[in-house]
């Protein structure tokens, strides 16, 4: 699956142009491989643009409950609006909003309870990478959030090394594949029902490097940030994914 994470970008006008362009670029094609996570305020607009397709529209974050929480979007509200998936634990949420593993676990439980596919984001810092502790760090993140949780069959992990997001620096595809294999093993052993998840890669994914990533067996797709803000490069990434993975 290829998921566009638009972050805090987009306007009604630019979103309309983006969606129309994507429809042209992927004409006569199904949209089953594609997810879009627009801002909360643009969710309904994007949903309506693709209401007759298999494209999934989700959110960049949800809260675990509603009530007296100004500015929050609860999992039940998101589900009621037709949200198909939600990113959870993105590094920017962890860094800018001080989200910790306990809160992310509560959000993940709420997503599952409300029929929303969780996309759990994990990733290490440059300091962690340099110290050789990447696997220990990722394992701790996964166990802290997933221990005792019964995952749904289509649960997804997004591996986004913090040092690669928006920098143009990426690990070698074979190294990402090895990390993804490790993530699948940890999730299968730590979740209550031993689910092996799909694992997406995120971190400076572009149409120039996508084929090298998707050629690896355990890279199941991508979470795309900057390259998803324009329809043309995003469509190219989708086409590359389909060419490689649908052989």
- Nearest CA-CA partner of 134 in 162, 169, 102, 97: 162
Which residues are known catalytic residues?
A: 90, 160
pLDDT of residue 139: 96
Digit-coded pLDDT (tens) for 189-213: 888 888 889 999 999 899 999 999 9
Task: Give the model's pLDDT for residue 84.
Answer: 97
CATH 3.20.20.70 fits 2-245, yes or no: yes
pLDDT in tens, 51-84: 999 999 999 999 999 888 898 999 999 999 999 9
Q: What is the DSSP annotation of the chain?
A: -EEEE--S---HHHHHHHHHHHHHHTTT---TTEEEE--GGGHHHHHHHTTTSS-EE-BS--BS--SS-TT--BHHHHHHTT--EEEES-HHHHHHS---HHHHHHHHHHHHHTT-EEEEEE---HHHHHTT-HHHHHHHHHHHHHTT----TT-EEEE--GGGTTTS----HHHHHHHHHHHHHHHHHHSTT-PPPEEEEESS--TTTHHHHHTSTT---EEESGGGSSHHHHHHHHHHHHHHHT-
> What pLDDT shows up at residue 140?
96
Q: How far apart are CA 142 and CA 152, in angstroms?
A: 16
The set of residues, in sequence order, having a beta carbon less than 8 Å from that of 52 and lying 6+ positions away, is: none
- pLDDT tens per residue, range 83-120: 999 999 999 999 999 999 999 999 999 999 999 999 99
Predicted local confidence at residue 190, as pLDDT? 85
**Is this structure's pTM higher than 0.85?**
yes
Least confident of 65-74, 107-116, 136-145, 177-186: 65-74
Rounded CA gap, 237 and 247, in Å?
16
77: burial class by Cβ within 10 Å (0-12, 13-18, 19+)? middle
Task: For the chain, give every domain's residue range.
Answer: 2-245
Please, what is the average pLDDT of the chain?
Answer: 94
Assess whether pLDDT exceeds 90 at residue 164: no
pLDDT digits (tens, 9 = 90+) for 4-38: 999 999 999 999 999 999 999 997 778 989 999 99
d(CA 245, CA 215) in angstroms, rounded, equals: 8
- Contact at 8 Å (CB) between 205 and 237? yes
């Amino acid at each position: 699956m290829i998921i566009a994470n638009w972050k805090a970008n987009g306007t009604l006008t630019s979103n309309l142009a983006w969606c129309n362009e994507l429809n042209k670029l992927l004409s006569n094609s199904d949209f089953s491989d594609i997810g879009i996570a627009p801002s909360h305020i643009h969710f309904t607009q994007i949903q309506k643009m693709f209401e007759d397709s298999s494209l999934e529209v989700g959110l960049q974050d949800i809260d675990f409950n509603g009530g007296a929480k100004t500015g929050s979007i609860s999992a039940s509200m998101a589900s009621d609006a037709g949200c198909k998936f939600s990113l959870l634990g993105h590094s920017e949420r962890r860094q800018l909003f001080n989200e910790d593993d306990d809160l992310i676990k509560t959000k993940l439980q709420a997503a599952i309870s409300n029929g929303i596919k969780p996309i759990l984001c994990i990733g290490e810092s440059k300091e962690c990478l340099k110290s050789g502790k990447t696997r220990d760090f990722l394992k701790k993140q996964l166990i802290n959030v997933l221990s005792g949780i019964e995952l749904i069959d289509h649960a997804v992990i997004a591996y986004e090394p913090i040092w690669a997001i928006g920098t143009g620096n990426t690990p070698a595809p074979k190294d990402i594949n090895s990390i993804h294999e490790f993530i699948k093993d940890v999730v299968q052993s730590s979740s209550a029902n031993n689910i092996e998840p799909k694992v997406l890669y995120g971190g400076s994914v572009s149409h120039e490097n996508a084929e090298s990533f998707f050629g690896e067996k355990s890279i199941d797709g991508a979470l795309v940030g900057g390259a998803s803000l324009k329809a043309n490069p995003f469509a190219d990434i989708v086409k590359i994914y389909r060419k490689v993975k649908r052989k």
